[in-house]
Amino acid sequence: MLQQATDVFDNLDGKFLARLREISSNTRTTTDGKATITFKTARIEANYSPDIIRKIEAGRLIAIPNVMGVGSKDNYSIYEVADVYPMHYSMLTLDRNQPGAIRKEFMTLIEKEWQQGSKSTWIEIVAAPTGYIMQLTGGFLIIEKPLYSAIFSAQKYVGSCCQYSLYTCAYIIRA
């Protein structure tokens, strides 16, 4: 599919800063035990801001630079957001073994920092591959079906609303 590539990406006034952390595969057996299914998911870490987390939701699309665009940043693998988690460093060690008063103090601190954002907070985005790639070529946008590997630790950006026959009013988020 070929379409004019104008204003494909939007970084939400410079606030959306994210990087691909990992791509993992999970294999599970079906409930009847007759087959196995493998799921791939991408984990993306983004800087936390209350404004940003409201705009990143399940169903949004993320474009992650893939190996075909190394150095040129004109080839992207398209992923669909499955889950969005606000994270805080204190959450990583918070469990039931700690006294209730200490847990409550940590949870109060975490809640305050989610209201305004801090260096201790981030957004974890889980996304699944759609199987499509997007190329920016000569001012045009091309969407194809082949799948290339995304680049780990590549810089991420957010996109503006674009209408494609593939997705109606999908948001491309350059992840």
Asked if the structure places residue 110 within a domain, the reply is no
166, part of any domain: yes
According to the model, what pLDDT value does residue 41 have? 92
How much is the pLDDT for 168? 28
**What pLDDT is stored for residue 154 in this prediction?**
56
- 9 assigned to some structural domain: yes
Determine, yes or no, domain membership for 97: no
Report how far residue 9's alpha carbon sits from residue 137's, in angstroms, rounded to the nearest whole number: 15
DSSP line for 20-67: EEEEEEEEEE-TTSS-EEEEEEEEEEEE--HHHHHH--TT-EEEEEBG
Q: What pLDDT shows up at residue 170?
A: 33
Q: What is the residue-level pLDDT of the chain in tens, covering all 175 positions?
A: 444 444 677 677 778 888 888 889 989 998 999 999 888 999 999 889 888 888 888 888 888 888 877 777 788 888 899 999 998 888 877 888 888 888 888 888 888 888 888 888 899 999 999 888 888 887 777 888 764 555 555 555 444 433 333 332 233 444 3
Q: Give a yes or no: residue 26 inside a domain.
A: yes
Angle at the Cα of 124 from the Cα atoms of 16 and 173, rounded to 5 degrees: 40
- Is the pTM higher than 0.75? The answer reads no
Q: Is residue 141 part of a domain?
A: yes
Provide the number of structural domains found in the chain: 1
Inside any domain, residue 148? yes
Q: What is the pLDDT of residue 123?
A: 92
- Output the pLDDT for position 172: 42
Tell me which residue of 126, 125, 123 sits closest to 50, measured CA to CA: 123
102 within domain boundaries: no
Distances (CA, A) of 167 to 41, 60, 103, 140: 20, 10, 44, 17
Domain housing 9: 2-84+123-174
